[in-house]
């Protein structure tokens, strides 16, 4: 349990860790410590040259500081020495595959660092499953002082370096981030990863989730590691049974011709269609009005378990179906092709529904033993990363 430091204790801590030899330095140090930001030039000019303790009292009495207390994310003023790790990802983008990443990483951290306090942040406002009082309010991640009070930042999982995700490409943010950074099982492509070169150069550990991502990251960091997707390595999702009938089609937004190709193998009344990123995929209901709109991983697992085969254009649709012991057919995505090839199911991948052969003739394989090996590699890599971060 943490106690709030007294004004004198806070003043002493500031004087021991910051440069307060000038008026500008003193005011900047207090603002940085208490408000998690730098003061403006006007704020510095309006302040008298007060003693440190008086300035601390004044700032602690401000509405801005009280708002920070209400949100509960200034650890500088606490007596606790607990190690705190913050996760960053596209967890709030409305895609179930991204929404479950933070909790999977937290579960892995519970294994290798059970004493650590794990927080989560997403620039995107959608809801995602995580301990509610450990989800940081939007905006904090853009404040260097707010972020730098943590002991480590884990960037992952998902394709965070495959598509631009603010603020990872912002040079000012990358430069002012002064805590150990771990890039964990991320998806990456060359041009996007290059925009985060400063962060990648500073990172204590860099890893990609597949061969294409690893190649993109090794172009910048030749010591980048191969670590599988955090959800793939999460035993929480392992289960399922042979019970289930029909095919589940997990679809994403596509051209009309692709939907027509789906209808060629979709058996209405026997099979089911669903989508897992409603904001983007909702238009497919014009072709499949009976499609299920899924907004939680529990509903997604239930749908997978209710069917014998899963045909998915979504990467995490394939991952969860594999973990549930289903026959999996992957469509379109290169990362899905790598996933299925890795587990001996290369013939179950097709670049388009137009090329899908008879699904009944495709193999089914229990890959969970191989997944267990990936999980062991993941946990070993995570432990190595945390050691590099001195945690």
- Fold matches, 84-234+374-388 and 238-367: yes
Separation of alpha carbons 386 and 112, rounded Å? 9
Separation of alpha carbons 231 and 157, rounded Å? 8
CA angle 334, 237, 382 (to 5 degrees): 70
CATH entry, 238-367, from 3.30.230.70, 3.90.470.20, 3.40.50.2000, 3.40.50.2300: 3.40.50.2000
Question: Peptide bond preceding 80: is omega within 30 degrees of 0, i.e. cis?
Answer: no
H helical segments located in the chain? 7-17, 23-34, 41-46, 52-60, 63-71, 96-99, 101-112, 144-148, 171-176, 190-194, 197-202, 211-218, 256-265, 278-281, 297-305, 315-323, 334-342, 368-388
Separation of alpha carbons 231 and 218, rounded Å? 23
Residue 161 β-bridge partners: 188
Looking at domain 84-234+374-388, its CATH class is alpha beta
Separation of alpha carbons 53 and 222, rounded Å? 49
Q: What is the pLDDT along the chain (391 residues), one digit of tens a residue?
A: 567 889 999 999 999 988 899 999 999 999 999 999 889 999 999 998 889 999 999 999 999 999 888 877 888 888 777 899 999 999 999 999 999 999 999 999 999 999 999 999 999 989 999 999 899 988 777 777 889 999 999 999 999 999 999 999 999 999 999 999 999 999 999 999 999 999 999 999 999 999 999 999 999 999 999 999 999 999 999 998 777 899 999 999 999 999 999 999 999 999 999 999 999 999 999 999 999 999 999 999 999 999 999 999 999 999 999 999 999 999 999 999 999 999 999 999 999 999 998 899 999 988 988 999 999 999 999 999 999 999 9
pTM: 0.93
DSSP string, 285-340: GGT-TT-EE--SHHHHHHHHHT-SEEEESSHHHHHHHHHTT-EEEEES-HHHHHHH
Domain parsing of the chain, residue ranges: 7-71, 84-234+374-388, 238-367
Separation of alpha carbons 85 and 112, rounded Å? 13
């Amino acid at each position: 349990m943490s106690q709030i430091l007294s004004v004198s204790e806070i003043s002493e801590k500031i004087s021991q860790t910051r440069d307060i030899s000038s008026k500008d330095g003193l005011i900047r140090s207090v603002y940085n410590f208490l408000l998690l930001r730098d003061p403006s030039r006007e704020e510095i000019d309006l302040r008298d040259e007060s003693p440190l303790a008086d300035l601390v009292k004044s700032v602690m009495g401000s509405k801005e500081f009280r708002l920070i207390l209400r949100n509960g994310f200034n650890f500088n003023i606490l007596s606790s020495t607990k190690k705190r790790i913050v996760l960053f990802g596209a967890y709030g983008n409305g895609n179930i595959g991204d929404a479950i990443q933070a909790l999977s990483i937290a579960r892995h951290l519970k294994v290798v660092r059970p004493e650590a306090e794990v927080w989560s942040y997403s620039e995107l406002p959608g809801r995602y499953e995580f301990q509610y009082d450990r989800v940081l309010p939007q905006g904090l991640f853009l404040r260097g002082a707010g972020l730098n009070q943590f002991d480590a930042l884990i960037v992952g999982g998902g394709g965070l370096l495959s598509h631009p995700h603010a603020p990872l490409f912002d040079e000012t943010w990358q430069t002012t981030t002064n805590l150990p950074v771990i890039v964990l099982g991320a998806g990456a492509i060359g041009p996007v990863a290059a925009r985060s070169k400063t962060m990648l150069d500073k990172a204590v550990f860099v890893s990609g989730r597949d061969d294409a991502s690893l190649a993109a990251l090794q172009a910048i960091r030749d010591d980048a590691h191969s670590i599988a997707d955090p959800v793939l390595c999460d035993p929480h999702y392992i289960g399922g049974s042979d019970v289930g009938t029909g095919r589940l089609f997990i679809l994403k937004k596509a051209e009309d011709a692709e939907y027509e190709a789906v209808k060629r193998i979709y058996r209405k009344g026997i099979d089911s269609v669903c989508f897992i990123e409603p904001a983007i995929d909702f238009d497919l209901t014009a072709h499949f009005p009976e499609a299920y709109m899924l907004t939680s991983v529990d509903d997604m697992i239930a749908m997978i378990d209710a069917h014998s085969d899963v045909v998915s254009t979504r990467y995490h649709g394939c991952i969860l179906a594999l973990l549930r012991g289903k026959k999996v057919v992957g469509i379109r995505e290169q990362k899905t092709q790598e996933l299925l090839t890795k587990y001996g199911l290369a013939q179950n991948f097709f670049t388009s529904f137009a090329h899908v052969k008879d699904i009944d003739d495709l193999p089914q394989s229990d890959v969970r033993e191989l997944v267990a090996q990936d999980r062991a590699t993941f946990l070993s890599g995570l432990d190595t990363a945390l050691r590099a971060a001195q945690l």
